[in-house]
């Protein structure tokens, strides 16, 4: 009995460790990243023309006008991080897409004097076997 329970536990652990997680998608089918500690501010990351566009959304997933907010973006490896150029507009931010498989680190500030909130996104462009979306946009289990 102990052997069967141990085997079952190991199998479940392995499936969680190697399976991909479910990404929360926003109103434009982009990946949601958290820009607050109380879920009052989100970012929706969508890809268009080789760039990532980040729109700000409130707690109800409604668009927020960009004015005093600021984002810095970093990609690359831990040994060689690369700061990415961020373009700001009234509707959000635009940044070059990182290389496939890299992490995109976004640091959001609601205003210049605020402490930054860090959000991370693994830019995995491999296709999901189930839904055929890139893994970074996969919403299936």
On whether the CB atoms of residues 73 and 105 are closer than 8 A, the answer is: yes
CA–CA separation, 100 and 126 (whole Å):
8
Confidence class for position 6, pLDDT limits 50, 70, 90: very low
Confidence class for position 79, pLDDT limits 50, 70, 90: very high
Tens-place pLDDT, residues 33-74: 999 999 999 999 999 998 999 999 999 999 999 999 999 999
CA–CA separation, 119 and 133 (whole Å):
21
Taking residues 114-126, report their average pLDDT.
95
Domain ranges of the chain: 25-135
pTM of the prediction?
A: 0.81
Beta bridge partners of 94: 53, 87
Q: Which CATH number fits domain 25-135: 2.60.120, 1.10.3470, 3.40.30, 2.60.40?
A: 2.60.40
Sheet strands (E) in 2-102? 31-34, 41-48, 51-58, 70-76, 81-84, 86-89, 92-96
Higher pLDDT, 39 or 14: 39
Among residues of the chain, what percentage have pLDDT more than 90?
76
Taking 70 as the threshold, does the pLDDT of residue 85 lie above it?
yes
């Amino acid at each position: 009995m102990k052997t069967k329970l141990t085997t079952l536990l190991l199998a479940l652990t392995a499936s969680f460790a190697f399976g991909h997680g479910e990404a929360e998608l926003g109103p434009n089918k982009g990946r949601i990243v958290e820009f607050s500690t109380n879920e009052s501010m989100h970012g929706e990351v969508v890809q268009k023309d080789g760039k990532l566009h980040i729109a700000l959304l409130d707690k109800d997933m409604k668009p927020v006008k960009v004015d005093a907010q600021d984002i810095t973006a970093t990609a690359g490896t831990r040994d060689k991080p690369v700061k990415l150029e961020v373009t700001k507009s009234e509707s959000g931010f635009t940044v070059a897409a990182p290389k496939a498989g890299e992490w995109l680190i976004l640091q959001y500030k609601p205003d210049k004097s605020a402490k930054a909130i860090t959000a991370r996104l693994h830019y995995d462009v491999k296709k999901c076997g189930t839904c055929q979306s890139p893994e970074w946009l996969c919403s299936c289990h």
